[in-house]
């Protein structure tokens, strides 16, 4: 199935928007459910394809799931240890977060290598290194990941500030009696969510939100009810949308503490962004954007996932802006798409570029290179003159819940075009939900 967005830009966006739950938080929280033998309930879960894929993986392992009205229920009392095949994980990089909890629960994990967006080299060595330091034996081959062994307490020094490797280490340690120390841990808000849920389940966790964690696990953990945090990456996208269209917007549900570096950059750039009665207010009409330098970094630094959207804002800023991408060498590809639209850009190397503005953008046919680049192209289309067509929208819809609908509610002229010829083939790429899976009862276990 091919999905495209067709849009006409130049319309100031105005109104209120409710921010959806964070996919990057929801996926590891779903994975954390396998640490227990009861029912885990997650509220404020975004309705995204990646969430559905993760639930199908758990169903393949014997879990019972339901997903209604942004609430996910997962019962894992019948969970089984099975090899997870490529057709389930090849399109979901986030499935890597099952490695730690399944190994810790069953003493063995075997799965095909996860897929997802191509953002340069994203190897799994940090995950394996963390689990090996806890006593796991790596039997992986070129075809699959395969780890075995009873995990033990001790010290884990991560080879890099990897978000998903930190989440795997935290969830693995939660079922290990004794103390596990994790150094060089990532501290992003969605990592903190994993630390908070395993603490609520019964593990003792010290250092939440820091780069050094102390976890005292328990042999048995209890399922919990948890509300997923708002998606701060969606917040960033809508803020930029208001700025580049010279509109006015109120964002509900956002947590400014998740965006301290991003909001500070916007303030220095000349953007008017305020917090009024717990609501983020953006005034793009009165904002006068000026050039600046941005360097992505680990949290609480400037998020790499907002680098592309900031690149669009730079095309509308006065002067020469500079982007340094520290984390992924594949993150600059969207700049070539912006050049098609008339942006004045000088790519210096795989990690550095200059953006000269302000430049009027023109509608063109452009593509989504990944989730965040796709969102950036939508923002470019919103402020471009004429008609823009964005291809490969499936990337965008993996990360943004009802993005086009929310934009239309703000006045954007955007429509989704679905080319149905490939629909059957696309649906066959994922196993259907098992017929014998019954809905999860409405009662919850705390």
Residues annotated as catalytic (active site), given as ranges: 117
What does the alpha-carbon distance between residue 51 and residue 200 come to, in Å, rounded to a whole number? 22
> Order of strands across the sheet with 279-283?
14-18, 248-252, 279-283, 272-276
Q: Are 228 and 47 in contact (CB under 8 A)?
A: no
Q: Are 107 and 124 in contact (CB under 8 A)?
A: no
User: Where in 207-297 does DSSP place strands (E)?
Assistant: 212-217, 225-227, 248-252, 272-276, 279-283, 293-295
Angle 25-110-395 from CA coordinates, rounded to 5°: 40
What does the alpha-carbon distance between residue 193 and residue 24 come to, in Å, rounded to a whole number? 10
Angle 238-333-373 from CA coordinates, rounded to 5°: 20
What does the alpha-carbon distance between residue 95 and residue 34 come to, in Å, rounded to a whole number? 13
DSSP at 36: B
User: Where in 127-247 does DSSP place strands (E)?
Assistant: 137-138, 144-148, 154-157, 178-183, 204-206, 212-217, 225-227
Rg (CA), the chain: 22
Q: Are 176 and 213 in contact (CB under 8 A)?
A: no
């Amino acid at each position: 199935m091919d999905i495209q967005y067709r849009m006409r830009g130049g319309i100031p966006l105005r109104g209120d928007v409710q921010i959806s739950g964070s996919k990057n938080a929801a996926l590891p929280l779903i994975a954390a459910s396998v640490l227990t033998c009861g029912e885990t309930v997650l509220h404020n879960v975004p309705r995204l394809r990646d969430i559905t894929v993760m639930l199908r993986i758990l169903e393949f392992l014997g879990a019972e799931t339901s997903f209604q009205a942004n609430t996910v229920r997962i019962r894992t009392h019948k969970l089984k240890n099975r090899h997870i095949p490529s057709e389930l994980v090849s399109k979901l990089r986030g499935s890597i977060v099952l490695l730690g909890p399944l190994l810790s629960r069953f003493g063995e994990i075997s799965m095909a290598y996860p897929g997802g967006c191509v953002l340069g080299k994203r190897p799994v060595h940090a995950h394996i290194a963390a689990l090996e330091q806890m006593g796991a034996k790596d039997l992986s081959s070129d075809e699959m990941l395969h780890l075995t062994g009873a995990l033990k307490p001790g010290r884990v020094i991560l080879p890099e500030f990897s978000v998903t490797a930190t989440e795997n280490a935290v969830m693995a340690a939660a079922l290990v009696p004794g103390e596990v120390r994790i150094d060089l841990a990532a501290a992003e808000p969605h990592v903190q969510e994993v630390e908070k849920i395993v603490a609520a389940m019964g593990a003792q966790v010290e250092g939440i939100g820091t780069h050094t964690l102390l976890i005292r696990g328990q042999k048995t953990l209890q399922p919990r009810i948890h509300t997923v945090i708002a998606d701060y990456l969606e917040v960033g996208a809508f803020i930029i949308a208001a700025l580049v269209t010279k509109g006015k917007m109120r964002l509900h549900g956002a947590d400014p503490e998740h965006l301290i570096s991003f909001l500070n950059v916007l303030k220095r750039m000349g953007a008017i962004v305020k917090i009024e009665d717990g609501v983020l207010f953006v005034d793009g009409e009165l904002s006068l954007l000026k050039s600046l330098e941005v360097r992505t970094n680990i949290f609480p630094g400037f998020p790499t996932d907002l680098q592309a959207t900031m690149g669009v804002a730079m095309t509308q800023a006065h002067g020469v802006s500079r982007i340094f991408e520290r984390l992924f060498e594949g993150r600059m590809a969207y700049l070539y798409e912006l050049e098609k639209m008339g942006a004045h850009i000088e790519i210096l190397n795989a990690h550095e570029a200059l953006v000269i503005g302000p430049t009027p953008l023109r509608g063109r046919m452009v593509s989504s290179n990944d989730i965040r680049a796709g969102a950036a192209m939508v923002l470019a289309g919103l402020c471009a003159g004429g008609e823009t067509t964005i291809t490969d929208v499936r990337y965008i819809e993996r990360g943004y819940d009802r993005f086009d609908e929310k934009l239309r509610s703000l006045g954007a002229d955007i429509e989704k075009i679905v080319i149905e010829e490939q629909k059957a083939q696309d649906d066959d790429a994922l196993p259907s939900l098992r017929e014998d899976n019954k809905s999860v009862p409405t009662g919850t276990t705390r």
